[in-house]
Amino acid sequence: MREYRVLILAFIFLAACSPSGNTQAQTTLPQPSRTPPASAAAMRISFAPVVKKAAPAVVNISSKRLVRQQVDPFWEMFGLGAPRNRIEGSLGSGVIVRPDGVIVTNNHVVEGGQQITVALADRREYPARVLLADPRTDLAVLKIDVAGLPTLAINDTGDAEVGDLVLAIGDPFGVGQTVTNGIVSALNRTADPSGDAASSYIQTDAAINPGNSGGALVDMNGDLIGINSFILSQSGTSSGVGFAIPGALVRRVVETAVGGGHTLVRPWFGARLQSVTPEMARSLGLATPSGALVADLWPGGAAARAGVRQGDVVTSVDGRPVVDAGGVGYAIGTHRVGDAVRIGLRRDGRDQTVTLRAEAAPASPAREERTIDGRNPFAGATVVNLSPAVADELGVDAFGQGVMVTKIAGGPAAAVGLQPGDIVRSVNGRRIQSVGDLVAATARPAGSWQVTIERGGQQITATFQ
C-alpha cells in the first residue's frame, strides 16, 4: 500500500502550492490558496483498501466469571442475607495472527475469565481457551478451534517512525468494528524507569475507545505493528494519547504460546540500570541526557561476562539508540534466550560495542513459595524467596534479596496491615533471609511479635501482641 502513502503526500503538496508571478517581497503574509484535486484518482484517496485487508482479522472478545458477592455487614450481624453469586463480564478486542485460530489480545481483557467467547468479524462465535497469559506485558494468546481464518501479519521490524499514518481497529462492544486513523506520535514510551520495563510502547493519537483494548494498530501496508493497550485520559474517553504494545513483543509472546510455553521467558541484562538525567549527562560528558548508567552488575551475569563494567553508559541495543533504562530492558527482552545482542557503550569518553549472550534471569535461590499458618502476624500471607527470576516475574528490583509477600488471603496478616510487595527483614530480632527462616521464626507462639519489613524502600518496625 505504499502507493497510497505517496498519493496522499502528493495531494497535500499540490493543495498547499499555487502559482504566482509576483517575485517581489510581500509586506503582508500571503493568503493561502486552494486548488481542486488534480485528478479523479486523487479524489478517491481512502484508507478503505487498508481496512479491507486488516479488519477481517479483528475480533470481539467477551469474558465472564462467577464471583461471590458479600452482603452488607450491617445485615450480616443479624444473620440476614447470604452471599450471592453474580456474573461479571468484560468486553475487548483481539487480532487473529494464525489461520488455525490463534488470537492475541490484552491480558486484562481475559484475566480471571472462566468463560471466554470470540466473535469473528462475520459474527460467528466460538469458545476460546487461553494458551498463555502474561500480566507484565499485558498480553494473552487465545485459541479457537476453527481453521482457514483471515490473519494480520505481524510487523516486528520496529521501523515505524513518528508521523507515520496508522489505523486503530477494534470490535469494542460486540455491535461491530470501529476504525480510527491518526499518526504515530511517539516511540519507545516506557512505563518503568528502573530498567525493568516489560514493554516500550508506541504512542498514537488515533482514538482508542473503551473496549478497543487488544485491538490492532496497523500501518499503511495493513500489517500489525502493535496491540492497542491503554489510554491516558482524565475523563475515561479517548483524548489522543493512546499506547500500543509493539509487534516485536507480540511476536515473542505468540511464538512462546504456539511452542507450548505458558510463561514468557524474558532475557535479563544482568545489571542494575539508572536512566541518565541532565545532571548525570553533564558529569559524564554526554551531549544529551540519553541512555542508561550501569550502577551495579550481577556477579557472573550476562552483562558481566560480556565485558560491561560498572559506570558504563548503555547507549544502544542492536545499533538502535535507547532513551532510558526501561528501553534497554525492553530491547533485550524482545530477544530469545541464546541470541547474540550487540550493546553500544560509552566508556571513558569513547564509544565501543560488546556482544551479550541473552539468558534468562537466574532462579537462585529457589522460589520455595509457601503460605504461612499458625498464630503469628504472618498467618494468611503467601511468601517467596526473592531471586532475579522471581523479581522479573513480579516486576520488582531484580537485585533485591530476602522474603517477599506475594499474596494476602485474610487472617492476622491482613489484620496487621501486611501488603503484597513487603519484604520481611526480621522477626523478634531474628534476621530473615529465606522462607525457611520465616517459617522457623513463626513456628513457636510468642507473647509479642516485633516485625521489621521493607516497603517502598523504607524499613518499618512494629510490635504486635
Whole-angstrom Cα distance, residue 85 to residue 32? Answer: 65
Beta bridge partners of 104: 95, 141
For 244-280, give one letter per residue: b (16+ CB within 10 A) or e.
bbbbbbbbbbbebbbeeeeebbbbbbbbbbbbbeeee
Q: Which residue in the list 62, 93, 108, 312 is annotated as catalytic?
A: 108
Detail the DSSP E strand segments found in 23-98: 58-69, 84-98
Check 134, 138, 196, 422 and give the catalytic one: 138
Question: Is 205 an annotated catalytic residue?
Answer: no
Backbone angles phi, psi at 42, to 5 degrees: -65, -35
Q: What is the distance between the alpha carbons of residues 397 and 418, in angstroms, rounded to a whole number? A: 19
Task: Give the alpha-carbon dihedral of 435, 441, 443, 449, to 10 degrees.
Answer: -120
Active site annotation includes 290:
no
- Give kind and range of the element (H or E) at residue 70: none
Among 213, 238, 316, 426, the active-site one is 213
Task: Please name every residue paired with 423 in a beta bridge, in sequence order, or none if there are none.
Answer: 404, 454
Cell of 302: 550476562
Question: Counting every residue, how long is the chain?
Answer: 465
In angstroms, rounded to a whole number, what is the distance separating the alpha carbons of residues 384 and 408? 13
213 is annotated as an active-site residue = yes
Long-range contacts of 307-312 (CB under 8 A, 24+ apart): 307/354, 308/271, 308/343, 308/345, 308/354, 308/356, 309/347, 311/347, 312/345, 312/346, 312/347
Catalytic residue numbers read 108, 138, 213
